[in-house]
C-alpha cells in the first residue's frame, strides 16, 4: 500500500494499528508510533530542549505545520541536529508502523503533521530499511519475545565488565517491569536501538525475560531444539541456557 | 534543508563540504547502532551506500564498545555519560589504495552517529581530512 501511494504521489497519513506514516507527494515526511519515542522525547530527555521550549514551538508553529522550522529558526536546535533526530524518529516509528499486522490500514488524504517539512525520505527507502532492520534483529538473537516483554538482568551475569556503556544504560533500567519501549523512552533513544541492545544483551546472557509464574509445566524438548537450531557455533551463554533447559526436565 | 528558498545547513551541507577535500570518493553520515545511512554523497565504498553504512556501523560499534579502545571512567567517557559521547574520536582504516576515516559525532541529545569519509590514498591528505572532519562534525550540530 505504501509503494502504491508513493507511485501516485499521494499526500496524507497512512494509519496502521502500530503507527502512522505521513506522506507529502509520495515521500515519507514523518512517522509516529506509540512504541517509538517522539522527536520531542528524544530532544528533551537529555535536556537539549526544555519542555517549555517545546510547548512554545508547538504553540507558535503547530497550527502552521512548521514546528521543525521554528525550532531551528529560534535557535533551539541546529539544522543538523533536527535532521539527525527527525530521521532517527522517522525510521524508528516506521519500523513499528510497517510491521506485519492483521489490523486495518487506512489512508487519510490531505492529513499533515505539525512537525512540517524536515528531510523527506523515499517510500522505497523506508520500506527497504524496515525489512533490513527486521533481518538484523533476527540475526542478533532470534527470539522476538525480548522486544515486548520486560527484561531483567541475568542473575549470573558479570555486568560491569561485559556490557558496553550504551548497553549498560539499558541494563540499568531493565527491572522486570519496564519493556524495551519504556527503556527507550526513559533514555530518549529510538525504540529500535533499544531492541538491538536488548537482543545483544540476551544473546550475551546478560538479560532474560522473567520466567512466568506458571513455569511449572515447561516444554523443554522444543526449547532445546530451538536453542540447537539457533546457532551452529554455540558459545558459553548458549551452553548455559542449554544446561538450564536440560536441568528443568529432570 | 530548504524552507521557502532559504537553505539551512544540515546533513547535506556537511557531506558536500567533506567532498571538497582532496581525493575524496564518497562520504556518508551513518547511525552506527542501526546501520542506517542518514545521508550519502559521491561513490559508495563496496557495493552500495546502504551496505557500506551497515558494515561501517559494525566496525564503529566494535571500537566504541570495547573497553580496550573506550575505557570507562576516563576523560571524555565518564561512567555517568552512559556512552552518550564515545571516548573514541575517530578511526582510520588504510587499504592499499584508500583511506576510510570514521569520525564519531557528538550531539547534545542521545544518538550514535558518525561521519564516514572514503579517500583515495594517492590524492587524499589524511591529516587534513581528520582536522576538517572534526570541524565539520562540530558545525553539523552547532549551526
Fold of the B11-142 domain: Beta-Lactamase (3.30.450)
What is the structure's pLDDT at B78? 43
Q: Min CA distance, B119 vs chain A (Å)?
A: 23
CB < 8 Å to A119, chain B = 1, 10-11
Q: What is the mean pLDDT of chain B?
A: 88
Question: DSSP character for B95?
Answer: -
For residue A85, with 0-12 CB atoms within 10 Å meaning exposed, 13-18 middle and 19 or more buried, which class applies?
buried
Query: Architecture of A141-210 per CATH?
Result: Orthogonal Bundle (1.10)
DSSP-derived secondary structure for A31-47: EE-SSSPPHHHHHHHTT
Phi, psi of A136 (to 5 degrees): -65, -45
For residue A48, the chain B residues in CB contact (below 8 A) are 108-109
What is d(CA B124, CA B18) in angstroms, rounded to the nearest whole number? 12
B77 or B108, greater pLDDT: B108
- Residue among A197, A155, A162, A156 at smallest CA distance from A180: A197
Say whether B1 and A166 touch across the interface (CB within 8 A).
Answer: no
Taking only the tens of pLDDT, chain A with its 250 residues reads 999 999 999 999 999 999 999 999 999 999 999 999 999 999 988 877 888 888 999 999 999 999 999 999 999 999 999 999 999 999 999 999 999 988 899 999 999 999 998 999 999 999 999 999 999 999 999 888 888 889 888 887 655 557 788 888 999 999 999 999 999 999 999 999 999 999 999 998 898 887 665 444 444 455 655 555 554 454 666 667 767 777 776 6
Find the length of chain B. Answer: 143
What value does the CA radius of gyration of chain B take, rounded to a whole number of Å? 15
Q: Does B14 contact A80 at a Cβ distance shorter than 8 Å?
A: yes
d(CA A51, CA A65) in angstroms, rounded, equals 19
Helix axes B126-142, A79-97, angle to 10 degrees: 80
CA–CA gap between residue A114 and residue B123 (Å, rounded): 46
pLDDT in tens, B7-44: 678 999 999 999 999 999 999 999 999 999 999 999 99
Q: How confident is the model at residue B119 (pLDDT cuts 50, 70, 90)?
A: very high
Query: For the segment B2-14, what is each residue's pLDDT rounded down to a tens digit?
Result: 776 666 789 999 9
Q: Indicate yes or no: CB of A117 within 8 angstroms of CB of B111.
A: no
| Closest chain B residue to the Cα of A126, Cα to Cα | B36
User: Are the Cβ atoms of B109 and A165 closer than 8 angstroms?
Assistant: no
Smallest CA–CA distance from A192 into chain B, residue: B34
A80 neighbourhood in chain B, CB within 8 Å: 9-11, 14, 139-141, 143
Nearest Cα residue to A236 out of A172, A169, A156: A156
Written as one string, the DSSP assignment of chain A is -HHHHHHTT--EEEEETTEEEEEETTEEEEEE-SSSPPHHHHHHHTTSS-HHHHHHHHHHHTTTT-HHHHHHHTTSS-HHHHHHHHHHHHHHHHHHHTS--SS--EEEET---TT--S--EEHHHHHHHHHHHHHHHHHH-S-THHHHS--EE-TT--HHHHS-HHHHHHHHH--SSS-HHHHHHHHT--HHHHHHHHHHHHHTTSEEPPPPTTTTS--HHHHHHHHHHH-SS--HHHHHHHHHHHHHH-
User: Does residue A119 belong to the interface with chain B, where contact is any CB pair within 8 Å?
Assistant: yes
CB spacing of A87 vs B38 below 8 angstroms: yes
User: Chain A partners of B79 at a C-beta cutoff of 8 Å?
Assistant: 165
Q: Could you tell me the maximum CA-CA distance found in chain A, to the nearest angstrom?
A: 67
Report the pLDDT value the prediction gives residue A170, as an integer from 0 to 100. 93
Instruction: List residues of chain B with CB under 8 Å from any CB of chain A.
Output: 1, 3, 8-11, 14, 29, 31, 33-36, 38-39, 50, 54, 64-67, 70, 72, 77, 79, 81-84, 86, 105, 107-113, 139-143
Helix (H, G, I), strand (E, B) or coil at B50: helix
For the record, the C-alpha cell of A178 comes out as: 519496564
pLDDT reported for residue A158: 56
Q: What is the pLDDT of residues B49-86, one digit of tens each?
A: 999 999 999 999 999 888 888 776 544 444 445 445 56
A193 to chain B, any CB pair closer than 8 A? The answer is: yes
Q: What is the pLDDT of residue A229?
A: 53
**What is the distance in angstroms between the Cα of A119 and the nearest Cα belonging to chain B?**
7
Cell (9 digits) for A236? 558459553
Q: What is the pLDDT of residue B74?
A: 45
Q: How far is B1 from chain A (nearest CA, A)?
A: 6
Quick one: pLDDT at residue B39? 97
pLDDT at A161: 58
Which residues have a Cβ under 8 Å from the Cβ of B74 and sit 6 or more positions away? Answer: B87
Q: Do B82 and A169 touch (CB under 8 A)?
A: yes
Q: Give the SS3 label for residue B100.
A: strand
Hey, what's the cell of A232? 551452529
Spell out which residues of chain A touch residue B36, defining contact as CB-CB under 8 Å. 87, 91, 129
What pLDDT sits at residue A49? 84
Tell me the domain boundaries of chain A: 2-129, 141-210, 214-250
pLDDT on residue B29: 98
Amino acid at each position: 500500500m505504501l509503494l502504491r501511494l508513493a507511485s501516485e504521489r499521494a499526500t496524507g497519513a497512512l494509519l496502521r494499528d502500530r503507527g502512522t506514516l505521513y506522506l507529502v507527494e509520495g515521500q515519507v515526511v514523518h512517522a509516529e508510533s506509540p512504541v517509538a519515542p517522539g522527536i520531542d522525547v528524544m530532544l528533551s530527555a537529555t535536556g537539549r530542549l526544555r519542555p517549555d521550549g517545546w510547548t512554545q514551538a508547538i504553540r507558535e508553529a503547530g497550527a502552521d505545520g512548521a514546528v521543525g522550522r521554528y525550532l531551528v529558526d529560534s535557535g533551539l536546535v541546529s539544522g543538523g541536529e533536527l535532521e539527525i533526530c527527525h530521521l532517527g524518529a522517522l525510521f524508528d516509528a516506521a519500523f513499528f508502523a510497517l510491521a506485519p499486522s492483521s489490523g486495518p490500514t487506512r489512508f487519510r488524504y490531505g492529513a499533515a503533521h505539525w512537525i512540517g517539512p524536515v528531510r523527506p525520505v523515499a517510500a522505497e527507502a523506508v520500506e527497504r530499511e524496515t525489512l533490513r532492520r527486521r533481518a538484523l534483529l533476527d540475526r542478533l538473537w532470534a527470539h522476538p519475545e525480548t522486544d515486548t516483554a520486560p527484561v531483567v538482568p541475568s542473575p549470573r551475569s558479570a555486568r560491569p565488565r561485559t556490557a558496553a556503556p550504551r548497553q549498560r544504560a539499558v541494563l540499568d533500567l531493565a527491572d522486570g517491569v519496564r519493556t524495551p519501549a519504556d527503556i527507550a523512552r526513559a533514555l530518549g533513544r529510538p525504540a529500535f536501538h533499544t531492541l538491538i541492545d536488548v537482543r545483544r544483551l540476551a544473546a550475551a546472557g546478560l538479560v532474560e525475560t522473567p520466567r512466568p509464574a506458571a513455569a511449572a509445566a515447561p516444554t523443554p524438548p522444543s526449547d532445546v531444539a530451538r536453542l540447537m537450531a539457533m546457532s551452529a557455533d554455540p558459545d558459553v551463554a548458549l551452553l548455559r541456557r542449554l544446561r538450564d533447559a536440560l536441568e528443568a526436565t529432570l | 534543508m530548504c524552507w521557502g528558498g532559504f537553505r539551512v545547513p544540515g546533513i547535506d551541507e556537511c557531506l558536500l563540504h567533506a567532498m571538497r577535500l582532496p581525493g575524496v570518493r564518497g562520504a556518508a553520515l551513518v547511525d552506527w547502532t542501526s546501520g542506517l545511512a542518514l545521508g550519502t554523497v559521491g561513490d559508495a565504498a563496496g557495493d552500495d551506500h546502504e551496505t557500506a553504512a551497515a558494515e561501517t556501523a559494525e566496525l564503529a560499534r566494535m571500537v566504541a564498545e570495547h573497553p580496550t579502545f573506550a575505557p570507562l571512567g576516563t576523560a571524555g567517557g565518564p561512567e555517568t555519560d552512559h556512552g552518550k559521547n564515545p571516548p573514541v574520536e575517530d578511526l582510520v582504516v588504510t587499504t592499499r589504495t584508500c583511506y576510510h576515516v570514521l569520525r564519531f559525532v557528538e550531539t547534545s541529545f542521545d544518538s550514535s552517529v558518525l561521519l564516514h569519509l572514503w579517500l583515495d590514498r594517492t590524492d587524499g591528505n589524511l591529516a587534513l581530512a581528520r582536522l576538517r572532519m572534526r570541524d565539520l562534525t562540530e558545525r553539523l550540530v552547532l549551526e
